Amino acid sequence: MRRLIAPAALAAGLMLASAALAAAPPAATADSGTTTAAPIVREVVGRTEINAPIEQLTVSRPVSYAGLNLTNPADVKIVDQRINRTARQDCAQLRNQDPGDPTIQGGHCVRTAERDAKLSLNSAISAAGSLQ
């Protein structure tokens, strides 16, 4: 028995809080226009009553804000759009693994990934504001 759980975050090479935002070079990020699929990580997180493994699948990619000013609302909107696009792509990749899993259907996966990434974005915005 296999169970998919929506991604906890779009993880990055440089972690900010618990989600996915990195000031990475644009060529190495999900928003660079490439469509290379991120690797899916499988982890056994428990067992069913009949001792079948329960797997959690996560997919992670960085979302860059390199070259953007996080104190500028227009630039923050660009990062929000990148987060949304990356979340949709990564959740679609998970849906391809198990189309019937309810945790990645109906937008739950995208909302969870966006929420977690935006927690890190908010931390980065606060840090950028305190530097000015």
The CA distance from 118 to 125, in Å, is: 10
Which pLDDT tens digits describe the chain residue by residue (132 residues)?
A: 444 343 333 322 222 222 334 433 333 344 544 456 778 888 899 999 999 998 888 888 888 888 999 999 999 999 999 999 999 999 888 888 877 777 777 788 889 899 999 998 998 899 888 876
Quote the tokens at residue 89: 């792509």
In this prediction, residue 56 carries a pLDDT of 83
CA atoms within 13 Å, Cβ hemisphere of 89: 20
Q: How far is CA 36 from CA 18, 32, 44, 112, 130, in A?
A: 23, 10, 25, 22, 35
Cβ–Cβ under 8 Å, residues 121 and 81: no
In this prediction, residue 4 carries a pLDDT of 39
Nearest to 89 by CA among 29, 42, 130, 48: 29
In this prediction, residue 14 carries a pLDDT of 23
In this prediction, residue 37 carries a pLDDT of 74
State the pTM of this model: 0.68
Cβ–Cβ under 8 Å, residues 64 and 53: no
In this prediction, residue 75 carries a pLDDT of 94
In this prediction, residue 107 carries a pLDDT of 83
